[in-house]
A and B are shown apart, each in its own frame.
Chain A
Amino acid sequence: MGIMTELIIKNLSARVEGKEILRDVNLTVRGGEIHALMGPNGAGKSTLGNVLIGHPNYEITGGSIKLDGVELVGKYPEERARAGLYLAFQSPVAIPGVKLSAFLRTAYKNLHPEEKLSVNDFYKLVSSHLKKVGLDESFMSRSVNDGFSGGERKRLEILQMVILRPKIIVLDEIDSGLDVDALGLISDEILQFFNDQTAFLIVTHYQRILKRIDPQFVHVLMNGKIAKEGDRELALRIENEGYDWIRGN
């Protein structure tokens, strides 16, 4: 067996503040696949992302999350990151005082201890990708997300992804708040990064990103449950008709 990438979510249920949000979610994502996750506001899409990375406010009440055969439930967020999981947050939090360059380098060293990239080369790498996501170098000495505009935060999520090179990537509404040009830049970065060892779960409400990054699978989460699955036709139908017809089922 060669290198594989496979995330298997089985019968996953989770609670926030005592409230059941996810019920029996099943989802499998493999290297080389692009999945879209859709669903109305409050359906539990972001909850799923947070549960996957081990956010401590979310309590798993049942089920399992396996990445390449290894159970992630019960593991710390940093262990999941090391296993290759990455979440681009819907609303990335600002962390005043923590400088982007120092943070990124620490993260990089933790995730790729075997790679001995010199400080200099590392900065060159970061610089080149900053440019690609449309941020200038001065961002490197700024605090993480602090004072960033909504779109800048989204760009930074993609920059981090490219530098940290995870395998399973959840993009939670990466397209919201991006201007048209930025959406183009970001989509190009994502597509360049994509290969048969990486997989994407793209959480979105809109077609505009799915037109650029074509999903093979579309899942609809409603009320904490996968209510419908299909291919890109499903996404198109939702764009035109909304969710009521699924609810009606």
Chain B
Amino acid sequence: MEIQNMSKDEEIEKLLESVKNITSKKSDWEFKDSFKPQYTTGKGLNRKVVEEISDIKNEPDWMRRIRLKALEIFEAKPVPTWGPDLSGIDWENISYYNKPGDSNTNSWDDVPEMIKDTFQKLGIPEMEQKYLAGSVAQYESEGVYHSLRKVWEDKGVVFMDLDSAIREHPDLVKQYFCKAVPITDNKFAALNGAVWSGGSFLYVPKGVHIDMPLQTYFRMNNEGTGQFEHTIVVADEGSSVHYIEGCTAPRWDKNSLHSAIVEIYVNKNAKARYTSVQNWSKSVYNMPTKRAWVEENGQMEWVGGSLGSKVTMLYPSSYLRGPHASASNLNISLAGPGTVKDTGAKALHFAPYTTSKIVAKSISIEDGKAIYRGLLRINKGAVESKSHVQCDALLINDESASYTFPHDEIYEPTATFGHEASVGKIGTEELTYLRSRGLSEDEASSMIVLGFLDDVMREIPMEFAIEMNRLIKMEMSKMGAVG
């Protein structure tokens, strides 16, 4: 037995310990606070609402024109029917813009008390102090806080909410806004183009390597609202950066809509990693459009965890535009009872010697539906390009199911690609087997979950794995013992 294997087992033991300690903790993001937005455009969406948002933001003309054009496109495009049922989105009853207050500050002391409390409960200021190079906090439609360590500011890094960035760096923003994700892309991207508010703008200048992650945390608090942030990350030539997003919302009765745009530009020889952990409550339709443009020898890494929401449709895509550009995509989805995760990835190879690697792991509980939907396109001329797709599913409960819909368009004969798929189960037989050897039900299910995540454990934040485990256990105990 090699040492490496042994230390790995010890790691698993430690994880099991931490998982045990955390099980009794109640979900700690589902609290609501009673904060009422200072201003809202009210229910429904029309030209007036869009103009109102634009007026409030006092933004440049070009942006106003994009919004109005986007609204037309949004209205013209039908709701997609090729995926999950979206009929629960109550378009007329959503408040599309909700402004929490006037302040957007770089000191937590100046954040309104109730909002500050909320972020404190979520552990954001603490995390910022310990691990982050910079932090943005968004509440409903607007950023309420942003900070960036001075070392990085001095090196020319820009990190703030997009609204502030448009005021402070208009030319830089204009260069990238809706280039990778045009407003014509899909109905939800068009919606975002029309009513977007908040989101982050991160610019890393040439050759700058930021060794700590930067994070934006999104919080929705009121029911029946929409959150439409637009985030742009630019890793300029030869730079490197790790950007993290987290999001939560309390549980409501009325459905809400979250429809973000994330655009990432990985320039020549640059490296960007984008990690997002989505933990929306089960009343949120989560329909973001995320895309990266990767130039010559650039590296894009997507790491995503979809834990919450009612319906999520998310397929982060990488456009490999320059030779030797690469993208890796790791997505972990948890489809709890009554929820749908229609997730996957897209890799489009436009240039020679480009590589993509997609690993998708899904866990479905009860009637929770986990669907992998992917697109791999290798264009003619993208010689010697390579791609590998791996889809693993874990079914908790003997009746759960998972589906995979990969779609390949390969036009280059020298390209190589492969698919792999596996299905595991936490069924009665598996649990009973482990328990009959002395493992508790908790240990048995954790062991299976950790085993399932084993090959990606190093890539995902530890807290994420633990949180995921906790959620699975919560769901399992709600079902009444599986075993």
Interface set of A (CB-CB < 8 Å, partner B): 53-57, 76-78, 80-82, 86-87, 89, 92-93, 95-99, 101-103, 105-107, 110-111, 119-120, 123, 126-127, 137, 140-141, 143-144, 160, 164
Given A95-B448, A102-B9, CB of A78 within 8 Å of CB of B428: no
CA–CA, A102 and B428, complex, Å: 20
* Shortest distance between the CB of B52 and any CB in chain A (Å): 52
> Within 8 Å CB of A160, what residues of B?
437
- Give the 6 A-B residue pairs with the shortest CB-CB distance, closest first: A97-B451, A77-B435, A110-B438, A81-B438, A107-B437, A98-B451
Task: Report B439-471 residues with CB < 8 Å from chain A CB.
Answer: 439-441, 443, 447-448, 450-452, 454
Query: With A96-B451, A98-B448, A123-B6 as given contacts, are A106 and B13 in contact (CB-CB < 8 Å)?
Result: yes
Closest residue of chain A to B447 (Cβ to Cβ) is A98
The answer to whether B447 touches A119 (Cβ under 8 A) is: no
- Least CB separation from B426: chain A residue: A95
Task: Give B contacts to A, CB under 8 Å.
Answer: 1, 5-6, 8-10, 12-13, 16, 422, 424, 428-430, 432-441, 443, 447-448, 450-452, 454, 481, 483
A160 nearest in chain B by CB position: B437
CA distance A110 to B441 in the complex (A): 13
Please indicate the chain B residues that have their CB under 8 angstroms from the CB of A82 in the complex. Answer: 438
Q: Is the CB of A106 within 8 A of B439?
A: yes
> Residue on B with the closest CB to A57?
B428
B1 touches A127 (CB 8 A): yes
Name B433's contact: one of A54, A80, A92 (CB within 8 Å).
A92
What is the minimal beta-carbon distance from A223 to any residue of chain B, in angstroms?
Answer: 25
Q: Which of B432, B439, B448 contacts A55 (CB 8 A)?
A: B432
**Taking the nearest CB of chain B, how far is it from the CB of A83, in angstroms?**
10
Complex: how many Å from CA A78 to CA B447? 15
Contact A99 B439 (CB under 8 A): no
Query: Which residue on B lies nearest to A161, using beta carbons?
Result: B437
**9 more CB-based (< 8 A) A-B contacts, given A96-B422, A97-B450, A119-B6:** A77-B483, A95-B448, A97-B454, A105-B9, A110-B439, A111-B438, A120-B6, A123-B1, A141-B1
Residues of B with C-beta under 8 A to A92: 433
B430 touches A93 (CB 8 A): yes
Number of A-B contacts (CB under 8 A): 112
- CB-nearest residue of chain B relative to A94? B430
Evaluate contact between A102 and B447: CB separation under 8 angstroms.
yes
A76 touches B435 (CB 8 A): yes
Q: Which residues of A contact B12 (CB under 8 A)?
A: 99, 102
- Is A98 touching B438 in the complex (CB atoms < 8 A)? no
Query: Does B434 contact A95, Cβ atoms closer than 8 Å?
Result: yes
Report B-chain residues with C-beta under 8 Å of the C-beta of A105. 9, 13
A98–B431 alpha-carbon span in the complex (Å): 11
Taking A53-B432, A119-B6 as contacts, is the C-beta distance between A106 and B443 under 8 angstroms?
yes
Chain A nearest Cβ from B13, distance in angstroms: 7
Residue in A56, A101, A111 whose beta carbon sits within 8 Å of that of B432 in the complex? A56
B359 to chain A, nearest CB (A): 14
Assembly CA distance A111 to B128 (angstroms): 42
**Known contacts A56-B483, A87-B436, A110-B438; is-contact A102 B448 (Cβ 8 Å):** no
Question: Which residue of the partner chain, among B6, B16, B422, B432, contacts A106 with CB atoms under 8 Å?
Answer: B16
Interchain nearest-CB distance for B336 vs A (Å)? 20
CB pair B432–A119 under 8 Å, yes or no, is no
Residues of A contacting B450 in the complex (Cβ-Cβ under 8 angstroms): 97
A103 to B430 Cα, complex, angstroms: 12
Q: How far is the CB of B378 from chain A (nearest CB, A)?
A: 31
Instruction: Enumerate chain A residues within 8 angstroms of B435, measured Cβ to Cβ.
Output: 54, 76-78, 81
CB of A73, distance to nearest CB on chain B (Å): 16
What B residues does A120 contact at CB under 8 A? 6
Q: Which of A56, A89, A164 contacts B438 (CB 8 A)?
A: A164
Q: Which residue of A lies closest to B4 (CB)?
A: A141
- Max chain A CB contacts within 10 Å: which of B1, B435, B437, B447? B437
Instruction: Give the Cβ gap from A164 to chain B, nearest Cβ, in Å.
Output: 6
* Residues in A neighbouring B432, C-beta threshold 8 A: 53-56, 77
